[in-house]
Structure 1
Amino acid sequence: MNRTMFAKKVWELAPLSTGFDLRGLVDLAELWSDLCRVVSLPPVGLQAGSLVPWILWAIWIARNNLIFNNKTSTPEETITKAVVMAREWFLAQEKVTPRKKAIPLPLRLPEGTTVVAVDAAWRGDSNTAGFGWVMKHTGSKVQFETASRSVRSPLSAEGLALRAAIMKCKELGIQQVIFESDSTQLVAAFKPQSAPPELYGIVADILHCAVSFKFCSFIWIPRSRNSEADVLAKHALFSGNSVLHLLRI
């Protein structure tokens, strides 16, 4: 893929509210203000600011890596890097900017949102894991369970369970989703520079997949609220089977 096609593909993958064509652009300064006003779509996590400068920067980094280090990048890796850098910068500004204490508001889910509770069970003697999740959407409930081998730790199992769940949601064409987990470490791993080394690749895969949704969020819930997914994960661990159940509620 030549450089022009590479950059075009990166812009096509960008989660922006409006698309634009940069072909024939001579003076970037003329359009800079307009470009920076383009709104970023969820789940980028930018309530303010622009993703556009970070896309340009990520493309430039990919170009330099190719020329000076002979290291290639895919358009998907490049847009993911842009999203991660933009979120890190935005959250860093929040930390240094004094704000009034916000009054907590009740959670109001976007209409049509699917809620997915995820859990994992792990056996250290065999390095096997069971994954379970429960999808709830508009009066129906889907339960899914599967098992996996060569899983190194309980935390890796939690991450792999979430990765499997988000990939299934993408496969089913779900557009708006909230993932619930009782693992505080896993949920915290989505904060910039907070992922433990064992979760680096898993978190990167999840964030890359999350870009394809119109709305995507990851929240922590108490273990007492995650009993259904816990039962599925333990059943999968000891049975070693993958089963899909569809229940109406």
Structure 2
Amino acid sequence: MGLAPERSSEAKVAELFRDTSTRWVTDKVERLFPMLIGEIMTIKPSKWGGKDKRVWLNHKSGAHSTKTGYYAALAMNKPDLLEPLQPAQEWLDDVWKITTSLKIKLLSWKIKHGAIPVGDILMARHIKANVKCIHCEDSESILHLFFHCPFAQKVWELLPVVTGFDPMRINSFNEGWKLALKATILPPTGINDCPLIPWVISTIWTTRNFKIFQKRHFTAQEVMTKAIVDAKEWKAAQIIPPPLPQGPPKRIQDAASVILCCSDGAWNKDLNTAGMGWSFSDFRNERFCSHSDSSMYVCSSLVAEGLAIRLAMEHAIALQLRQVVFESDSLQLVSAIVDRSSFNDLHGILADIYLLSKQFDSVSFRYVNRSSLCFEDNLAKQALLGPVRNPC
């Protein structure tokens, strides 16, 4: 881009807006920033007076953290070190979302990080200890202990699964962990909705420690039985917590005057364009009004959904509707509105949604399944196929 001309050295972003609005002057943006027009125009400022906010661009929430700052510094100064530090595993799905005890989740996390004191790791850290497997006297590694050891193989042979589970074909603990989690446990273990594999891994580990420190020996059958019993006992002890109170809803004076507004967005990734459709229905579920619109320079489907709700709210205000329930099939968007959470791309749109909400006597937002918005989805797609107008 080069240095800014002297006459533009004190220029402000507001000078790129049309008159006193926050609509970009496309010609001016293109003339001054021809290489950045796509990035600039996808920014959707607040149309209704929302306040500006400083955001950290290296995270979608706009919030800065030590972790994201560290990775940003590495990317700028030592990009060659960044690749090995990127998480190579899906920790949420592989560990933290598994239905099992927190103790076993922590053990699984340690094993995946190579942070348990097996023989190979102790030897690598120059710790004097017996580095041989307690069961077979071979070199003890994580892969050996949990899958390749003859004792572990006997345990896995007893695993009640639909198809055979061959631990000798496994080349790493992570590979074995993923394969074992996918295995379908046969009845009548009584733990179909609670994965047995983490309990088996945990029991193999505790069996090894009992044998080392207490000289207690267990058979493979006892290991599998204990894993099943522990899993069943833990499952039976779980108490489903009551739902958290949501707070008192706004009182609706007349249910017959409540209007339902359904909105949906369609997005073309290649062209960065979006179509938005919405409709209004009365308490008898009879649709009395619908509309659609389109926009250029839309950077994601989430922004398209946000634009659809904002346009629907503006239309509802123009129709002088006082009590409205807005429905969307974007759970992420509805959660952001209800929880007042932040997204860089949505800041201006969310600010407008909060401001527009004050124009209603009663307003709420809720998520619905995509199948409930077939009409609005068709409106949005038709708008996307037609001539696309300037950015919203």
- TM-score, normalised to structure 2's length? 0.34
Deviations 1:121-175 (A, max 9, x none): 0001111100001110254421211111111111001001100000110111110
Aligned residue in 1 for 2:280: 135
The percent identity for this pair of structures is 35
Partner of 1:196: 343
Show the 5 A alignment for 1:170-189.
170-189=317-336
**1:1-249 alignment, distance < 5 Å:** 110-137=255-282, 139-240=286-387
Gaps of 5+ in 1: 1-75, 79-98, 243-249
Change (3 A) 1:126 1:100: closer
Which residue number in structure 2 is paired with residue 60 of structure 1?
none
1:206: Cα distance to partner? 0.7
The equivalent residue for 2:166 is none
Deviations 1:209-234 (A, max 9, x none): 01010000000000011111000000
Counterpart AA for 1:152: C
Partner residue of 1:61? none
Shift of 1:110: 2.7
Q: Kindly tell me: are residues 171 and 158 of structure 1, through their superposed partners in 2, closer, same or farther at Cα, counting changes over 3 Å?
A: same
In structure 2, distance between residues paired with 1:204 and 1:102:
26
Contact 1:146–1:240 (8 Å) recurs in 2:
no
Question: 1:100/1:144 Cα in 2 relative to 1: closer, same or farther (>3 Å)?
Answer: same
Do the aligned residues in 1 keep the contact of 2:273 with 2:388 (CA within 8 Å)? no
Q: Which amino acid letter does the alignment assign opposite residue 129 of structure 1? A: A
Partner SS state of residue 117, structure 1: strand
Q: Which protein is richer in strand relative to its size?
A: 1
Distance 1:216 1:227 in 2: 23
Unaligned segments of structure 2, at least 5 residues: 1-48, 52-240, 247-251
Asked if the contact 2:338–2:365 (Cα under 8 Å) also holds between the matched residues in 1, the reply is no
Contact 2:310 2:349 in 1 (8 A): yes
Q: How many residues align?
A: 145
Larger RCO (CA under 8 A, 6+ residues apart): 1
Query: 1:150 is paired with a residue of what secondary structure?
Result: coil
**Structure 1 runs of 4+ with >3 Å offset:** 99-104
What is the alpha-carbon root mean square deviation over aligned residues?
A: 2.8
CA deviation map 1:159-198 (0-9, x unaligned)? 0110000011011111000000000011011134523221
Note the C-alpha offset of 1:77: 5.7
Could you report, residue by residue, the CA deviation over 1:53-111 in whole angstroms, capped at 9, with x for unpaired residues?
xxxxxxxxxxxxxxxxxxxxxxx769xxxxxxxxxxxxxxxxxxxx965899xxx9833
In the alignment, what sits opposite 1:66? none
